[in-house]
Structure 1
Amino acid sequence: MAIACNEHADGFQSANHERKSTLTHALDNPFWSSLASRHRDISIRSGKAARYPPDYAPFLGVADTAGVAEADLQALVGSGETVYLLGVAASLSDAWQLEIDQPLTQMIRTSPIDLDEGTDIIELGLAHREDAMALTALVYPHFFRSRTMELGRYFGIYRDGRLAAMIGERLGTDEFQEISAVCTHPDFTCQGLAQRLLGMLTNDNLRRGRTPFLHVSRQNTHAISLYERIGYTHRRNIDFWSLRRKSADA
C-alpha cells in the first residue's frame, strides 16, 4: 500500500534503514547472533558468552570484545578444549591460546537465482546421516559433527546409491540464513551438482524471507569463483579464530 504523506514515508524509510543496519550488524558476529536467536534453545550460556553443544558444532560466540568475563568462558570451555569464534573474539589472559585459524570471506545474495534445479534433489534426514557424515569427513572435515544436521535443513543428490553432493543450513536468525556444507564427492565433480543445490537453497530461503549468506576460505579461490558465478557478492572479510583453554598442567 502506497504511503501518501511524505513525512510518514520519510519516517518509514528511516526506521527501515535503521532496521537493516541492525540486521546487517548481526552478520559481523554470526555465532553470537545465531546462539542468541535461532539456536537459543540449544545454546549453553554463561553471561555474555554462549556456545553450541559439542555434538552440534565446536563454535562459541561472545557479545563483544570487552564485556565477557573470563569466568564465563571457563564455565563453557573445558581444560585443554578448543572452540572457534567468528568475527568477534574476547580479550583473555595467558591461560588461553587465541589464534587466527583462517581468514574467511563472507558472501551474500539478496535476489533469486535463475537456475534449473532439476528434480533429483532430496531433503536429507536421519536415514541419510551416515552418508552425510562420510561425505563431509572426506571433503569438509573438522566442523561437521554428529548433530550438525539438526541445526537446519540439509539436501543432497544421490548418484548410483551414493551421496554425490550435499548442502545445508547452519547459523541463522529470523532474517538471515547461513548456507553451509556445500560439498561434492570427488567422483562426481564438474557436473554442476553443487551449483544446483546452491541455487535451490538460495531461492528457497529468499522465498521464506531470509537472506542467504555463506563463509568461504579466502584461499579457496575455486569455491569463491563458483559463488561469484551464481551471483553471491563479497560482504566483508571476517576472521575465524581457534581458542584453546590451556590445561592446568601445561
Structure 2
Amino acid sequence: MSPIEEENLRRPIWTALVTRHAHLAEGSAGARRYPADTSPFVATKDNGKESLAALERLCRPGERMVFLQRDPVTLPEGVAVAMEADGVQMVGEGSFSRIEDPRIVPLGPDDAEAMLALAELTKPGPFSLKAQSLGSFWGVKENGRLIAMAGERLKLPGMTELSGLCTRPEAQGRGLGRSLLAFVAGEIVARGERVFLHAYASNENAIRLYEACGFRLRTHMHVVMADKA
C-alpha cells in the first residue's frame, strides 16, 4: 500500500468528503459532514484550533454525529461524547474476481425502505433511506422479501469501502454474507480499485469471516458518537 493510500485511510470520512464524495459534503476547509438525512459521519481535517472551531459551527444542537478515524477524536467545547468504541480497519488482499450469482441482484430506489428495515433489524452500522447516494448496493431476495444485502459507502481515491453487510436472522447460516462480501469486493476490484471495510473490534465473528475471505487487519480505529448540547 502506498504512503498516499495509508494517509487517506487515517481519516477516511474526511478523505471521502474532500474527494469522491465532495459533492455531498457540507462544511468548510476544516470540518465536513454528510447531509444529516444521508449519514451521521463527520470529520475534521486535523485536531487544530481552526478545524475544531469549524466543527463546532458545523454541529447542530441535539444531533448525533459519528467519527471514525485512526487518530484520537478531539471535540470542541459544547460537543460531548455519547459513546466510544474500538474499531478495526481491514483492507482486501485476496484475489477478488467478479462473481456471477443469480441470487444477487442490484438494489435501487424502490428497495430503500426494505434496506433500511433490514439495517435496523441487524445493526450493521449507520444507515439511512439515502444510503444509495453513497454507492451501489446488492441484495438477495426470497419470496419478494430482502433477506441479505451489502454495498458501498466511503469512496476514496482509488479505493471503496464495502459496507452494510447484513442478513436476516432466520436466513443466517446459509453463506449469504460470505457470498455478498465476495460479490461486492469483486465489483469494486473489477473497477481497478482497492476494497476496504470497517468493523467493531468486539465483532470477532465478523472479523474472522473477513480474514477468511481475504481481508487483513490494517489498523485499529477510534469510533466516537457525539452530541452537541
TM-score (norm 1): 0.85
Q: 2:131 matched to 1:148? A: yes
Q: 2:149 matched to 1:166? A: yes
- Aligned residue in 2 for 1:196: 179
**Structure 2 residue corresponding to 1:137, chosen from 120, 134, 151:** 120
CA distance in 1, matches of 2:6, 2:51: 26
Secondary structure class of the residue paired with 1:215:
strand
**Structure 1 residue corresponding to 2:26, chosen from 28, 39, 44:** 44
Shift of 1:227: 0.7
* AA of the residue aligned to 1:79: P
Q: 2:28 matched to 1:58? A: no
The Cα offsets for residues 87-118 of structure 1, whole Å up to 9 and x where unpaired, read as: 14554444221365211111111332369652
* AA of the residue aligned to 2:66: Y
CA distance in 2, matches of 1:115, 1:91: 40
Q: Map of 1:51-200 to 2, 5 A cutoff? A: 51-87=33-69, 88=71, 91-98=74-81, 101-113=84-96, 117-140=100-123, 143-200=126-183
The Cα offsets for residues 171-208 of structure 1, whole Å up to 9 and x where unpaired, read as: 01131110000000011101111111111111121111
Call closer, same or farther: CA 1:194–1:115 in 2, change over 3 Å.
farther
The answer for unaligned runs of 5 or more in structure 2 is none
Secondary structure class of the residue paired with 2:166:
strand
- Paired residue total: 228
CA distance in 2, matches of 1:92, 1:23: 26
CA distance in 1, matches of 2:125, 2:103: 28
Contact persistence 1:156–1:164 (CA under 8 A): yes
The answer for unaligned runs of 5 or more in structure 1 is 1-16
Call closer, same or farther: CA 1:131–1:22 in 2, change over 3 Å.
same
List 4+ stretches of structure 1 deviating above 4 A.
114-117
Greater mean deviation of Cα atoms: 99-108 or 156-165: 99-108
Q: Which has the larger radius of gyration?
A: 1
Call closer, same or farther: CA 1:114–1:53 in 2, change over 3 Å.
closer
* AA of the residue aligned to 1:58: P
CA distance in 1, matches of 2:178, 2:195: 15
Contact persistence 1:113–1:202 (CA under 8 A): yes
CA distance in 2, matches of 1:56, 1:63: 21
CA distance in 1, matches of 2:74, 2:88: 23
Call closer, same or farther: CA 1:142–1:104 in 2, change over 3 Å.
closer
Call closer, same or farther: CA 1:93–1:23 in 2, change over 3 Å.
closer
Secondary structure class of the residue paired with 1:65:
coil
CA distance in 2, matches of 1:53, 1:102: 23
Give % identity: 30
Greater mean deviation of Cα atoms: 231-240 or 62-71: 62-71
CA distance in 1, matches of 2:97, 2:125: 33
Contact persistence 1:170–1:180 (CA under 8 A): yes
- Aligned residue in 1 for 2:14: 32
Call closer, same or farther: CA 1:235–1:215 in 2, change over 3 Å.
same
